[in-house]
Amino acid sequence: MNDAREELPFDILFIGGGPANLAGAIHLMNLAGEKGIELEVGLIEKGDEIGSHALSGAILDPIALEELIPDYLAKGCPIEEPECRDEFYFLTRNRYFNVPFTPRYMHNEGCCVISLSKFTRWLAEMAESLGVNIFPGFSGTGVIYSSDNHRITGVATGDKGIDKNSHKKSTFEPGVDLTAKITVFGEGSRGSLIQEVDRKMGIFSDKMPQVFETAIKEVIELPDSNHFLSSDTTVMHTFGYPLGLHTKGGGFLYKMAKNRISLGLVVGLEYENPLMEPYRAFIQLKQHPLIAKIIEGGKVLQQGAKTLPAGGYYTMPSLAVDGALFVGDSASMLNTQRLKGIHTAMKSGMLAAETIIPALEEDDLTRRTLGKYESKVKQSWIHREHYAARNFSQALSKKGLLKFVHLGVQYFTQGKGVNDPLPIEADHTTLKEMGDEKATEVSVPMANDFDGELYVDKLTGVYLSGTQHVEDQPCHLIVQDMDLCSTRCYHEYRNPCTRFCPAQVYEMVEESPGVRRLKLNPANCLHCKTCEIKDPYNNITWTCPEGGGGPKYSIT
Amino acid sequence: MDVVVLVKQVPDTESLIQIEGDGVSIKTDDIKWVMNPYDELAVEAALQIKEAKGGTVTILSLGPEKTVETIRTALAMGADKGVHIFDPAADGSDALSKGKLLAAALKTLPFDLVIAGMRAVDEDNYQVGSAVAELLDIPQISQVTKVAVEDQTIKCHRVIEGGTVVVEATLPALFTTQRGLNEPRYASLPGIMKAKKKPIDTLSLADLGIDPETVGPAGRKVKVAVLNFPPDRKTVKMVDGGNPGEMAAKLVKILHEDVKAI
Ligand SMILES: Cc1cc2nc3c(=O)[nH]c(=O)nc-3n(C[C@H](O)[C@H](O)[C@H](O)COP(=O)(O)OP(=O)(O)OC[C@H]3O[C@@H](n4cnc5c(N)ncnc54)[C@H](O)[C@@H]3O)c2cc1C
């Protein structure tokens, strides 16, 4: 065991093993192959395997996949359900209404249902067969810059084998400096390195604030006799209950192969009520008569949570700097209007590849050549989709019926709407302070709602996500000011972290009457990053734990 | 010193384990495969011996095609080469047949020491290491928590009820690992790059001179009759709030009304 950091040089380095980077790496190898260019390409992923941290719906619009791997079916692309036959429901507490007219962007003809976890594992096989070096179990923990700080020259991976007190254990393994001519950041929603880049290079300045949604989802296995399995419907979306009309988001239910369904709830993090608990809302969705009837007799096989970047067009960062490109969810490529980001992520990765090849040929790795990626995105269908939806997320954040006024006007003005751009607020600013009178509402127990099979509590959910972290390591959640939690935050918001975290990472323990302390369970963390986004004081920073830790999703 | 490590690829116990329709096997499609944790200890022990004494570390593994991934992991940790017994006719072998196949391969390899996990966490037989030593007619020491290797001998600590026992044997010998032996190292990133170029030989039953009828399902002396999950663990219910008296009252109420135990 050697304590010194090594440098490992690549031509091109991809950070994150999601659809954006995997498609990018595959396309890059294909293009390089056509031109006879030899490239050493590396890709790191913090999950212990590709797919372990992939959680999505997911309805795949195959437009980018068809371009990338035209014979994807022959190559064994794992598809759960080849046809999307949609239904759209408005829910009240006990009733539901089938919405006969669905907006065009909600139609999913031509799309199919996939498990992103399986899909990315398959993409990784494709990439490896083309010679991409894939390194699962390694987190990027720092950006490496040129000595003048103007150019990104790579990414440092985290040390392994460090104990709670930051001392080296016997297994200590130093991280590596991965250097590259061009680094592509595809860290997904709320990437930690892209934020570091922003602090240095300001790629998000002049943009509207990034806004997010948190989703909790399960894969449920239904008994053979289940009536939904034999029904025609394969895709359902709901809005209304349990979120009401003040919070954006809604439910989804997709049919998968082998008697399985994917069921989830997306909750806009611009919500105002500090007592809101997304996990609880998810349970309420499951208990709603419409859904409860469908999932009757089922068993939860896997559960997990993840955030989605919902801001879209006006929140997209500058997409290239000297030495680096930004793709997929990290760069706000998700189209909230269609609740789809896989196709745009893949396309953005592919456009990045198409920019990299000429940059290498010209031997110019600055924004002058890499900036062409931005114009390629502008000329592609990514831009067309996004431009039409440029005010959509903002409109959905409007309270009550007002949102429908905005949406209606936008629908008939190609997205321009009442105001363009319609402004938006950062999620951490939207919580309303609570009055003391509501304090009793906080600890409503849910124990009776759970049966451990179909309805599971948060900790069982964590178990079903397969989440594991090396226990003896420094806490990856950095709470700058712990006192704030027991003082101001308790009084103003009753510690919303204990509710918005879907994995019970945050707990307030009452050590003696009136004396409270924040207790962290970082080993439960699902890497959704809701805490960093929603904490009203910006008091929490999420950093990558030791590589290989986190969920082990395989069918989500 | 030439060390051969017996390594098995097993389902990650955190993955989604479901019993197949036949009732005697598990569904394999949604499973994540990893190195048997006891074999990680074996690889680490071998690497430490190599660091101290020089020599080579060879990884020997029996299993389907994807077993190569696990062999590569061991190579990335620092082993020198891999040998993969891969033959569809060997699928479904029982512990004794596995021992036969591994022993046959070992006869083609130079070794002073063989290290194996004391058990594989999938089938939990505790048999393969012993079978191999028996078939090679070399000394075996099981469930080792500490090891010292001299030129001609090996000295191992084993935990027994109420204490430890130190056992010696002359080389060549085989020992199996128990938790506590060491902390296996990580496969480093440069290690993974290097492992891509390390050799892995593949051996078939024909290469080993083994008749397919004597291994695999045909050669089984024991058969799995049925697989069962442990009884469902019920969700824990915490009784909270109030002073001990109130909590006790709540508990009694739950036991009486909800659980109907009293
Ligand atoms: C519940 C839910 C439902 C959705 N439904 C749909 C749908 O139906 N259709 C659709 O098209 N889209 C859907 N989406 C969106 C879609 O999943 C994303 O847009 C898409 O996955 C983005 O791809 P990406 O490659 O940019 O990021 P990701 O898929 O998030 O991949 C990023 C990867 O990078 C890794 N990573 C991050 N940081 C680091 C680091 N520092 N070092 C190493 N590795 C790192 C992560 O572990 C992750 O594996 C949904 C999303 C959610 C959460």
Q: Across A425-514, where does the E strand assignment appear?
A: 477-479, 506-512
- The pLDDT of residue B45 is above 70: yes
Q: Report the 10 Å Cβ neighbour count for A98.
A: 10
Q: What is the pLDDT of residue A17?
A: 98
Q: What is the pLDDT of residue A98?
A: 93
**Residue in A133, A171, A450 nearest the CB of B183:** A171
**Residue in B16, B185, B237 nearest the CB of A171:** B185
- The pLDDT of residue A76 is above 80: yes
Question: Where is mean pLDDT largest: A335-339, B153-157, B159-163?
Answer: B153-157
Q: Which of A171, A302, A450, A510 to mutate to test the interface with B (most CBs of B within 10 A)?
A: A171
Q: Which of B70, B72, B186 to mutate to test the interface with A (most CBs of A within 10 A)?
A: B186
The torsion angle over the Cα atoms of residues A546, A328, A410 and A101, rounded to 10 degrees, is -80
Task: Supply the mean pLDDT for chain A.
Answer: 94
**Residue in B12, B185, B192 nearest the CB of A1:** B185
Q: Which of B13, B43, B235, B259 to mutate to test the interface with A (most CBs of A within 10 A)?
A: B235
Q: How far is B129 from chain A (nearest CA, A)?
A: 26
Ligand 1 atom nearest to CA at A52: 49
Give the residue from A65, A110, A64, A104 showing the smallest Cα distance to A338. Answer: A104
**Residue in B31, B185, B193 nearest the CB of A8:** B193
Q: What is the pLDDT of residue B151?
A: 87
**Confidence class for position A398, pLDDT limits 50, 70, 90:** confident
Q: Which of A129, A132, A173 to mutate to test the interface with B (most CBs of B within 10 A)?
A: A173
The arithmetic mean of pLDDT across residues A362-389, rounded, is 96
Ligand 1 atom nearest to CA at A306: 53
The arithmetic mean of pLDDT across residues A247-260, rounded, is 95
Please say whether the beta carbons of A138 and A157 come within 8 A. Answer: yes
A45 CA to middle of ligand 1, Å? 12
**Confidence class for position B258, pLDDT limits 50, 70, 90:** confident
Q: How far is A489 from chain B (nearest CA, A)?
A: 22
Do residue B16 and residue A133 have CB atoms under 8 angstroms apart?
no
Do residue B189 and residue A157 have CB atoms under 8 angstroms apart?
yes
Residues of A in contact with B77 (CB under 8 A): none
Q: What is the pLDDT of residue B30?
A: 84
The arithmetic mean of pLDDT across residues A1-11, rounded, is 84
Non-local (6+) Cβ contacts of B249 within 8 A are: none
- Give the whole-angstrom CA distance, residue A308 versus residue A326: 16
- Give the whole-angstrom CA distance, residue A53 versus residue A118: 11
Element (H, E) at B144: strand B140-149
- The pLDDT of residue B254 is above 90: no
Residues of A in contact with B18 (CB under 8 A): 301
Please say whether the beta carbons of B178 and B159 come within 8 A. Answer: yes
Residues of A in contact with B188 (CB under 8 A): 173, 176
The arithmetic mean of pLDDT across residues A192-210, rounded, is 95
Domain ranges of chain A: 6-70+118-207+316-388, 392-421
Q: Whose CA is nearest to atom 13 of ligand 1?
A: A340
Non-local (6+) Cβ contacts of B108 within 8 A are: B203, B208
- The proportion of chain B whose per-residue pLDDT surpasses 90, expressed as a percent, equals 81
The torsion angle over the Cα atoms of residues A471, A475, A477 and A483, rounded to 10 degrees, is 120
How are strands ordered across the β-sheet holding B200-203?
B163-170, B153-160, B140-149, B173-177, B113-117, B2-7, B56-62, B81-85, B200-203
- The pLDDT of residue B234 is above 80: no
- The proportion of chain B whose per-residue pLDDT surpasses 70, expressed as a percent, equals 98
State which residue of chain A sits closest to B188, comparing Cα positions.
Answer: A173
Q: Whose CA is nearest to atom 30 of ligand 1?
A: A188
The arithmetic mean of pLDDT across residues A247-274, rounded, is 96
Q: What is the pLDDT of residue B236?
A: 67
Per-residue pLDDT of B46-98, as tens digits, reads 999 999 999 999 999 999 999 999 999 999 999 999 999 999 999 999 999 99
**Confidence class for position A195, pLDDT limits 50, 70, 90:** very high
Sign, CA torsion A384/A387/A389/A393 = positive
Q: What is the pLDDT of residue B235?
A: 60
Residues of A in contact with B190 (CB under 8 A): 6, 8, 176
Q: Report the 10 Å Cβ neighbour count for A526.
A: 24
**Is the pTM for the entire model greater than 0.80?**
yes
- The pLDDT of residue B186 is above 80: yes
Ligand 1 atom nearest to CA at A45: 44
Ligand 1 atom nearest to CA at A191: 38
- The pLDDT of residue A435 is above 80: no
Q: What is the pLDDT of residue A395?
A: 85
**Residue in B185, B187, B235 nearest the CB of A452:** B235
Ligand 1 atom nearest to CA at A333: 19
- The pLDDT of residue A443 is above 70: no
Do residue A8 and residue B32 have CB atoms under 8 angstroms apart?
no
- The pLDDT of residue B193 is above 80: yes
Task: Show which residues on chain B lie within 8 Å of chain A, measured between beta carbons.
Answer: 12, 14-16, 18, 30-32, 183-190, 192-193, 196, 232-235, 237
Do residue A466 and residue B15 have CB atoms under 8 angstroms apart?
yes
A240 CA to middle of ligand 1, Å? 26
- Give the whole-angstrom CA distance, residue B209 versus residue B205: 6
**Confidence class for position A124, pLDDT limits 50, 70, 90:** very high
Mutational test site, ligand 1, from A308, A315, A554, max ligand atoms within 8 Å of CB: A308
Q: What is the pLDDT of residue A2?
A: 59
In order, the DSSP letters of A262-299 are: EEEEEEETT---TT--HHHHHHHHHHSHHHHHHHTT-E
- The pLDDT of residue A221 is above 90: yes
**Confidence class for position A419, pLDDT limits 50, 70, 90:** confident
- The pLDDT of residue A436 is above 70: no
- Residue recorded with tokens 């590589």: A547
Which residues have any ligand 1 atom within 6 Å of their CB? A 15-21, 44-47, 53-60, 116, 139-140, 186-189, 191-193, 215, 217, 264, 306, 308, 328-330, 334, 339-343, 345, 544
Domain B2-219 has CATH 3.40.50.620: yes
- The pLDDT of residue A446 is above 80: no
Ligand 1 atom nearest to CA at A20: 25
Strands A235-240 vs A86-91: parallel, antiparallel or unpaired: parallel
- The pLDDT of residue A1 is above 60: no
Per-residue pLDDT of A86-105, as tens digits, reads 999 999 999 999 988 777 88
Q: What is the pLDDT of residue B243?
A: 82
**Confidence class for position A495, pLDDT limits 50, 70, 90:** very high
- The proportion of chain A whose per-residue pLDDT surpasses 70, expressed as a percent, equals 98
- The pLDDT of residue A539 is above 80: yes
Q: Report the 10 Å Cβ neighbour count for A160.
A: 23
Q: Report the 10 Å Cβ neighbour count for B95.
A: 19
Q: How far is B57 from chain A (nearest CA, A)?
A: 16
CATH-assigned architecture of domain A6-70+118-207+316-388: 3-Layer(bba) Sandwich (3.50)
Q: What is the pLDDT of residue A445?
A: 56
Per-residue pLDDT of A140-192, as tens digits, reads 999 999 999 999 999 999 999 999 999 999 999 999 999 999 999 999 999 99
Q: How far is B135 from chain A (nearest CA, A)?
A: 35
Domain ranges of chain B: 2-219, 232-262
Do residue A447 and residue B237 have CB atoms under 8 angstroms apart?
yes
Residue A351's Cβ-side half-sphere holds a number of Cα atoms within 13 Å equal to 28
**Confidence class for position A438, pLDDT limits 50, 70, 90:** low
Residues of B in contact with A171 (CB under 8 A): 183-186
